A and B are shown apart, each in its own frame.
Chain A
Amino acid sequence: MLVYANPANFLRLVERLLPAVTLLTLVLFGLGLGLVFFVAPADYQQGDTVRIMFIHVPAAWMALFIYGVMAVAALGTLVWRHPLADAAQKAAAPLGAGFTLICLATGSLWGKPMWGTWWVWDARLTSVFVLFLIYLGLIALWQTIEEFGLAARAAAILTLVGVVNLPIIKFSVDWWNTLHQPASVFRLGGPMIDASMLWPLLVMAFAFTSLFITLHIMAIRNEILRRRLRRLSLRVANQAELPSFGKAAAQ
């Protein structure tokens, strides 16, 4: 595992893995969407709009999962100073924001026919919205601090402070009276939805996860390449300006 800490090794790994995970993502989405539209039943009351759930719920799981990934990367940055951890953090933030936005948007589209409103400030929606704001704040932080290592460390600390939001989101539907429904899958006593809906849901969840992995390793790769480019440009600038220090600058 540690050998992939070397960015060059990681890039080689990505080149080998990328076609495979891309294919896996496409297959899982194909399978998942097939199950969603042909196996899962329409709801007694809601009709076909219930199928939004198969996008909304996996997106929500991803929003939390990606934050978890970011938190682990943050530990990598702060505790082990792992060079790839910085890139992994930076790459995960926009992806997390994207999935959270999908979750909020699909939730809103689903809520209008089901609850009669586009939005309500109950505990679950509020805490997920706060998660979205935290993601946006992290993206802003990455863009504002120019020095990469510094930005990584600042983002790492903020990410770890924000981890407290995850259990709040998860348990908000249990602790407070919310309009959002309580947990149906991840609960003590096992999932309480029917297999005909559980399986499409799980397959879609795997599809989303595979999508995230694909996009994430691509983004990390891009970040590594971007930094290489920057280092090379700096080197060129150094050598042009101080010819007598050429030896020192070239190190």
Chain B
Amino acid sequence: MRSALAALFVREVKIAGRIGGGATVGLVFFLILVTIVPFGIGPERQLLARIGPSILWIAALLATLLGLDRLFQADDEDGSLDLLMTSEVPLEILVAVKCCAHWIMTGLPLVLASPFFGALLAIEPPGLAGVGLSLLIGTPALTFLGAIGAALLVSLRRGGLLMAVLILPFTIPVLIFGVATASDLSGPEGPGFQPLMVLAALTLIAAVTGTFAAAAALRVLLR
């Protein structure tokens, strides 16, 4: 089974790397969302620095969710999904591997770019580290939750916006604790780590819920 999982992971990474588009577009979207905020609310540095972590989190949330709709659609269109379901490896594990590969190719770049984009929002270096770490721990949760939406709408070719509508309510706790973690880690009194613990717990819960719900959805919605 290990070779099957490794093969799937390598295949996902190769395809994402060769087709390109996905990660780059996500990154540019992230950047655009971050830059339109100063245009919208004015360039006053203190204000930007205060809401900066939240803006980065919201931008990461939207960029992740809107970039996930092709997670299963591509495989559904060319018949690969049918074959994946005839593998000896349980579908849940295949879904988890796909999500991990997707996060590494599209989520991780957002995390790595966030300190640089955060500088555009006048966040100081301690704040940048805090936001980066909170995104590192929290964005996998967004990917796993988004996978549920991607699976529910696998046969709908135009599901992007609807997917965001369905899954955003479930990502609200992740957003709340992600921003709390960012402020906590870079706060003046030193980190208390409580929001970070909750955020990590949310990611673990999302990983389990997401894989099982997405796999169930794929099985039940295949036709």
Contacts and interface: CB of A to CB of B under 8 A. Distances in A.
B81 to A, nearest CB: 15
B172 A154 contact: no
B217 A154 contact: yes
Interface string A142-166: 0011010010011011101110100
A137 B220 contact: no
Contact of B166 (A78, A141, A150, A160): A141
How would you classify the secondary structure of chain A's contact residues: helix, strand, loop or mixed? helix
Nearest to B172: A130
A208 to B, nearest CB: 24
15 contacts: A78-B220, A126-B172, A134-B169, A140-B162, A141-B166, A144-B156, A150-B221, A154-B152, A154-B153, A157-B148, A157-B216, A158-B152, A161-B148, A161-B209, A162-B169
A150 B220 CA distance: 8
A157 B213 contact: yes
Contacts of A154: 152-153, 217, 221
A136 interface: yes
B152 A137 contact: no
Interface string B168-203: 111010000000000000000000000000000000
Nearest to B158: A144
Interface in B205-222: 209, 213, 216-217, 220-221
A133 interface: yes
Contacts of A144: 156, 159, 162
Interface size class of B (residues with CB under 8 A): 20 to 34
B223 interface: yes
B35 interface: no
Contact of A136 (B159, B165, B217, B221): B165
Contacts, number: 51
Contacts of B162: 140-141, 144
Interface of A: 78, 126, 130, 133-134, 136-137, 140-141, 144-145, 147, 150, 153-154, 156-158, 160-162, 164
Nearest to A147: B223
A153 B221 contact: yes
Contacts of B168: 133
B165 A161 contact: no
Interface of B: 148, 152-153, 155-156, 159, 162, 165-166, 168-170, 172, 209, 213, 216-217, 220-221, 223
A144 B165 CA distance: 12
How would you classify the secondary structure of chain B's contact residues: helix, strand, loop or mixed? helix
Given A140-B165, A144-B156, A154-B153, A161 B170 contact: yes
A164 B162 CA distance: 21
A45 to B, nearest CB: 33
A161 B213 contact: yes
Contacts of B213: 157, 160-161
A159 to B, nearest CB: 11
Contacts of A136: 165
Contacts of A157: 148, 152, 213, 216-217, 220
Contact of A140 (B166, B209, B221): B166
Across the A-B interface, give the 4 residue pairs with the lowest CB-CB distance, nearest first. A133-B169, A137-B166, A153-B220, A154-B152
Contacts of A137: 165-166, 169
Contacts of B152: 141, 154, 157-158
A153 B170 CA distance: 19
Contacts of A160: 213
A136 B159 CA distance: 16
A158 B166 contact: yes
A134 B162 CA distance: 12
A82 to B, nearest CB: 14
A160 B156 CA distance: 21
Nearest to B166: A137
Nearest to A123: B176
Given A130-B169, A136-B165, A141-B166, 13 more contacts: A126-B172, A140-B162, A141-B162, A144-B159, A153-B217, A154-B217, A154-B221, A157-B148, A157-B220, A161-B170, A161-B209, A162-B169, A164-B209
Interface centre among B156, B169, B217, B220 (most CB of A within 10 A): B169
